[in-house]
Structure 1
Amino acid sequence: MTDSIADSSLFSLAFLAGGGEMGRQMRDHNWSASPLGLPQQWSQSLRTAVSIMLNSGHPMFLTWGPEQIFLFNDAYRPVLGAKVTWAMGERFEKVWADIWHILSPAAERALAGEATWFENQKLVMQRNGYAEETYFNYSYSPIRDETGAVAGMFCACTETTETVFTTQQLREAEQALREANKALQIEREAVRAANRRLMAETEFLRQLFEQAPGFIFVMRGPDHVFELANAAFQKLIGHRDLHQKPARQVLPDIEGQGFFELLDEVYRTGEAFVGKERPVQLKRKPDSPSEERFVDFVYQPLIDAENNVIGVFCEGSDVTERVLAEKALRQLTETLEEQVQTRTRELQQAEEALRQAQKMEAVGRLTGGIAHDFNNLLMGIKGALGLIEKRIAAGRTGEVDRFITLAMSSTDRAAALTHRLLAFSRRQPLAPKAVRVNHLVASMEDLLRRTLGESVSLDLRLMPDLWPILCDTNQLESAILNLAINARDAMPDGGRLILETDTAQVESDQAQALNVQPGEYVYVRVIDSGVGMPAEVITHAFEPFFTTKPLGQGTGLGLSMVYGFVRQSGGYVTIDSQVGVGTQIALAFPRCQKEFDLDDHVPAKLSNIPLVESDKVVLVVEDESNVRLLVVETLRELGYRTLEATDGGAGLIILQSSTPVDLLVTDIGLPVINGRLMAEAAREVRPDLPVLYMTGYAETAAAEGLLQPGMELITKPFDMEEFATRIHEMSKGAIKASRTLGQ
């Protein structure tokens, strides 16, 4: 205690005796700064109310004075949650500021002299640092001072959150439980009616006891003589005459069930007892058999000014319906669990069948489309070669060039289709180089204008001094052209297409959401003023086979190819579209930080590539005989000497021998030993050997360290001019490897 209270008369502070933790806190509290003043100065009405509240096992609080200073007992502490550390002595409005808009009207009515009652009131509280949905039964009753004026407000409450939630579950689970809840509502209405009758007997006691939803009674002396009891208790015991009678006389049917022994123990020790769902056998009617009920209750000792136990206060609830309902719910849950498991298995089987059907439908569309396109392309190649054969046989060689061009065109289209499929699967073998995006876009301007037509205007907005990026030049050109064609088709009546470049920094949180590395990125944006896309179309835009074009006018692989290429290059793609306004598609590529030769050159013609000295030796390892024949013939025309091997094992034997080899040209996918392992093994004995990989499919190319210094990659099918240029540059710029193992 503080010195001011400790020096005061013990008799004057006797009303603060007992009360558990809150009684101790009130005795120790420094009240000098409180609007209530020191406890020695409190009015008798406030002292009486505080004493009853502190020694009650039912959650209670009161407010006093114009400031509505907030005081509460131990049973009310759990209601406050984390607020319990500072709530005592604060303003009522501050303590429950989060629900004040609900509480204040009832508080104003109580301070105006009108008692109020609320049942299962929903209150969304912030008592533990988060929003918590709770339910309460509570009453606000005015407390009058010695002059008869309302000086404060008293509240007795019971938290019914668990009961409300359980009732809701039972209502959904079983009709019979809903009927039980209706019966419970009727019983509660009877309690409220009984409370209203008792309020007429005495204003103060009616406020404290009769509005409580549970049963309350007060007993005095070691024989536990009943002084007060509410209607709920009378209902529980069968409306017996109990006033001023000892408990054992009133309730002989509960003898031997432990309740009287508990009362004796609480009276003797002064320590409270809490019982949960305790069974009790009662004869609720004189001639009826015993009935089992379940009760929650608290025996709280009443302490006088000399700190002596003078009686026992009891508060509790008849929870029989709840206990029986929970038991029924548990039984129902056991059967429901089995039903849910059975239904879940059926749904899983149905979903698996649906997914399999969708897979087969997608595979059917893919194989059908590929077969149709490839048959057309093969027809062009086969037909052109057949006509070339006939013209040569007839000696009409002057007409051969036209059919050669036709066959080459079909070949290029077949390669483009293959690239689109591989880009869609993100297994396309890329040939990444440092690219100046502005230079590439500017070089495509004429092609784009011809593609868009006269009804669509093209506006290039290229950011100066744009960073270089590392990507496959051909695929970037194809992606931009693909997006431009889509934009043109979205503007059937004409419009405007903006092609702009820009840079930005992608921070860690954004990069994590986009599944890319944080850092500096270069953006290529294609913006049109077309019809736009609704949200459901945007959601599926990058999915394979998805297209909004009529049947036969779109394969559904265009945006899938763009997406696959950009993701394979370490970037990401975004779509921003609004119906009737237009669409913006942004391709984002990571900035190229390393030093590379910028990809601005054009491959030389085969006829313009100079011959090399005849001692240069190239080893060609290729299991496809036709491809090997073309490569060897091209090398010989360039003046190289050639060696051939049909698999990786045969090639490695040559490389590990004393045979001179200046350059290795190998396919990646080889029998026996693949090209990558063969090249790595060869470099152990020929560390400076230049290597040119050929591939039409490489799931792991540059991304997993395939291309070491002195190694390059070329994608099948390739132009022989491009192949010859790459061979010439590698032969000219590479440090000459050891000609033999012995040198």
Structure 2
Amino acid sequence: MNATPTGSDKPNLMARLDWASGPLGAAQTWPQSLRTAVDMVLHCPLPMALLWGPQLVHVYNDAFARLAGDKHPRAFAQPTHTAWPELRSVTEPIYQRVLQGQTHRCRDQLWRLPFAGRLCDVWLDLTYGPVHDESGHVAGILVTAIETSERRRMALEFERRSEASLKAQQESEERLQLALAAAEALGTWDWDISEDRFIADEHFALLHGVEPRLSRQLPISAYLEGVHPEDRAMVTRSIKHCITHGTEYAEEYRLLHADGELRWVFVRGRCYKDRHGRPKRFLGAALDLTERKRTEEALRNLNETLEERVIARTRQLAEANHRLQNEMIERERAEEALRHAQKMEAVGQLTGGIAHDFNNMLTGILGSLELMQRYIADGRIDEIGRFTEAAVSSANRAASLTHRLLAFSRRQSLDRKPLDANALVRSLEDLLSRTTGDHIALRLQLADELWPVSTDASQLENALLNLVINARDAMPDGGELSVETANIYLDGNDLSNLEPVKAGDYVMIAVRDNGSGMTPSVLAKAFDPFFTTKPIGQGTGLGLSMIYGFAQQSGGHLSLDSVPGQGTRVQLYLPRLHVTPAEEPVSPTAVDAPPAIAGETVLLVEDEPAVRMLVLDLLENLGYTALQAQDAKGALAQLESEQRVDLLVTDVGLPGMNGRQLAEIARQHRPGLKVLFMTGYAQKAAERQGFLEHGMDMIAKPFTLDQLANKIRAMINHDA
């Protein structure tokens, strides 16, 4: 970023940032999914952050900024691993799981975060959830944080104080034993029983609320008056028992002074007898336990209060978590509603574009056929040539549109073969020069020792031709157009694509012009189907979306850079093929449909009557023995017979058992049977290498009869 954000006002902060120079690009070009996610984060009262794109760019709200400490505001709008490199080893595995569509939760996690120049321990509950873009792929991560440091400290304090209370009580008892043993009593008494004279020291007198100057003049009953009324009977019985039986006197009781003060005392003594066994003297000492009792009571109250506070705080956190879960549910519902609305808008745009173009083409086909029927009925057969040409032209345009739709949806059948991209570009140089015209200078900048690739040569030719036409149209007054190739290594973060980029070696083919360029709003929609800036009738808007689909289906990528008034650069990346250099591309040559050799038999399986009729007519005209079936069941009856069959020609999308399953069963009865698949759409056939076995081939609908005838001849002639 060129601008350094300051402050905590996120809307103003976002407005000040130079987004165009950052990894997310200009805010005006953001997809709706990113706009919605950022808006939700900024207006959420809870700490929340959004990590978006391949670099996981960090956008967060004010509540989260307070948790970021000294990292804010430098971390805002930066890649998360750049802003928080010290956390990468912990967070990266979490991010990888969430980017695969999982949700991850952490409870009471300890994080060391910088505050006021020093690292502080912060405890957090964290939830990581995936955020999907318009195509349904995970494009970002939503992080919700709840600080639990106070709850954690309260729990630790509760444990510490509980341990301290037990320890303090144990230490108090030990100190009491030591004090008594060492005669370090707070007060002592000496009761001469025979004279009934009770002598107490100053400490004992003060404990029992007696004036020290009177301590040698009062009987024991005066001291007993200071004992709490509820404890007095117990103390009296204990003293009598000690005197009568000569046992040790040990008691703990309360003292209630005249001013209302309550004190605790622990006493210990023994009665001594004369030689006749009569009680003579009763000696003892007393300890003041008041402060100890008060401390224990305060600690007990503190523990009880602390426990209540912990329970209350836990309840508050549970309620907050419940509210957060409800908010997350509402957010997920809103996201789902947004995705549904975006899908419906895309479907509406797609179907509207298809309907518009196909209606034009069907009008050309149906109108031409209707006029042909009228002219034939009027005997004007010689005049129908222009109508047949118009019908064929419209049909070919419809076929081209279908292939582009399949490329866009990544369902076209790719005939992948090793290929030298430089050789293919050179073979197209004359065609490209004628396409661009004399007012545009064509430059080829081809890298030395270019790596081979594995792709469909015809689809790559079509992609390059589309890019060159787009570049030509962007330079109506002339300019320079270059086609470049290069060996490139991508580490997964080089491209800001919606699709994930697999790190590795790629061959880059770029088409660059210095024409009108694209505005940010146009650039954001460049890959959308049926989006075009050309006038109606001059473009379907499927060119770039078709190339994008072809690149993705080939395991590669497509990137687009454009500046208004300066031009556009489109870069197609295809994975490197780690084998020997590819063969030179061979342009197909047109030949007449070859006839059959006597006795050669072809079994045709096709459920569409019109297609079945046309292919049967072709086979019979070429001299083949033609067998037919409209489904797999009818075909199997003939394949299990003794009837000669040199080639099985079957549609892939048959009702019931499909054509691929039919071929499997047919080869069980006839090992090595050659099979030619006809397909208009087949998801399993999109990758030929995984669909075709030895002795199998494929032809895509719509095809010309000459193409089919040549394919049949080539397969029958080919040695198994």
TM-score range, shorter chain: 0.5 to 0.7
Note if 1:733 corresponds to 2:714.
no
1:209-262: per-residue Cα shift (whole Å, max 9, x none)?
xxxxxxxxxx9x97899xxxxxxxxxxxxxxxxxxxxxx9xxx98979xxx989
Gapped regions of structure 1 (runs ≥ 5): 1-124, 138-158, 166-171, 178-218, 226-247, 265-277, 283-290, 296-319, 736-743
| Percentage identity across paired residues of the two chains | 45
Residue number in structure 2 paired with 1:377:
361
AA matched with 1:717: P
> Cα distance 1:399–1:442, how it changes in 2: closer, same or farther (>3 A)?
farther
* Partner in structure 2 of residue 23 of structure 1: none
Query: Within 2, Cα distance between the matches of 1:488 and 1:418?
Result: 24
Q: In structure 2, what residue type is equivalent to 1:452? A: T
Mapped contact 1:516–1:570 kept (Cα < 8 A): no
Aligned with 2:558 (options 554, 560, 573)? 573
> Which residue in the other structure is 2:416 paired with?
432
Q: Amino acid of the residue matched to residue 716 of structure 2? A: S
Pairing 1:587–2:572 present: yes
CA distance in 2, matches of 1:551, 1:326: 70
Structure 1 residues 263 and 492, CA gap change in structure 2 (3 angstroms):
farther
Distance 2:481 2:664 in 1: 48
TM-score by length of 1: 0.53
For 1:703 and 1:224, the matched residues in 2 are separated by: 101
Which residue, 706, 713, 726 being the options, matches 2:691?
706
Deviation for aligned residue 1:359: 2.4
Q: How far has the Cα of 1:433 moved from its partner?
A: 4.0
Aligned to 2:444: 460
The higher-RCO structure (CA 8 Å, 6+ apart) is: 2
**C-alpha contact (below 8 Å) 1:434/1:471 kept by paired residues:** yes
- Match in the other structure for 1:689: 673
Distance 1:532 1:279, change over 3 A: farther
Q: Is this contact kept in 1: 2:481–2:511, CA < 8 A?
A: yes
- The answer on 1:602 being equivalent to 2:588 is yes
- In the alignment, residue 643 of structure 2 is paired with which amino acid? T
Matched to 2:445, the amino acid is R
* SS of alignment partner, residue 613 of structure 2: helix
Q: Aligned ranges for residues 493-512 of structure 1 at < 5 Å?
A: 493-504=477-488
Q: Distance in 2 between matches of 1:325 and 1:530?
A: 70
Matched residue, 2:375 = 391
Distance 1:425 1:292, change over 3 A: same
Does structure 2 retain, via aligned residues, the 8 Å contact 1:433–1:473? yes
Q: Report how far residue 510 of structure 1 moved.
A: 8.4
Q: CA deviation at 1:726?
A: 1.4
Distance 2:574 2:384 in 1: 44
CA distance 1:534–1:329, change in 2 (3 Å): farther
1:443 Cα deviation from its structure 2 partner: 3.9
Partner Cα distance (1:526, 1:696) in 2: 31
* Distance of 2:419 and 2:351 partners within structure 1: 35
Displacement of 1:472 after TM fit? 2.8
Measure, in 2, the Cα distance between the counterparts of 1:255 and 1:134.
49
Counting only pairs closer than 5 Å after superposition, residues 158-557 of structure 1 correspond to structure 2 as: 281=298, 329-463=313-447, 466=450, 468-491=452-475, 493-504=477-488, 521-533=506-518, 541-544=526-529, 555-557=540-542
Q: How many residues align?
A: 462
The separation in 2 between residues aligned to 1:506 and 1:411, in whole angstroms, is 41
1:561 to 535, 541, 546: 546
Shift of 1:533: 5.0
Is contact 1:622–1:666 with CA below 8 Å preserved after alignment?
A: yes
Between the aligned partners of 1:348 and 1:541, the Cα distance in structure 2 is 29
Distance in 2 separating the partners of 1:509 and 1:254: 76
How far apart, in 2, do the equivalents of 1:454 and 1:279 lie? 101
Given the superposition, is the C-alpha separation of residues 527 and 698 from structure 1 closer, same or farther in structure 2, using an over 3 Å criterion? same
CA distance in 2, matches of 1:719, 1:541: 33
SS of the residue corresponding to residue 384 of structure 2 reads helix
Contact 2:113-2:122 at 8 Å conserved across structures: no
Residues in 2 aligned to 1:381 and 1:690: alpha-carbon distance in whole angstroms: 35
1:633 alignment counterpart: 617
Residue in 2 aligned with 1:119? Answer: none
What is the distance in 2 between the residues matched to 1:669 and 1:407? 27
Deviations 1:465-499 (A, max 9, x none): 65554333332222112222333344455432211
Structure 2 gaps of 5+ residues are: 1-85, 91-110, 126-145, 151-174, 187-254, 256-260, 266-287
Distance 1:716 1:508 in 2: 37
Residue equivalent to 1:313: none
Q: The residue matched to 2:684 in structure 1 has which SS?
A: coil
Cα distance in 2 between the residues matched to 1:580 and 1:486: 15
Aligned-partner residue type, residue 604 of structure 1: A
CA RMSD in angstroms, aligned pairs only: 4.7
Q: 1:695 to 1:279 in 2, by over 3 A?
A: farther
CA contact (8 A) 1:253 1:281 kept: no
Structure 1 SS opposite 2:644: coil
TM-score (norm. length: structure 2): 0.55
1:161 shift after superposition = 6.6
- Match of 1:501, SS state, is strand
After superposition, the Cα gap between the structure-2 partners of 1:332 and 1:570, relative to the gap in structure 1 and judged at 3 Å, is: closer
Q: CA deviation at 1:640?
A: 1.8
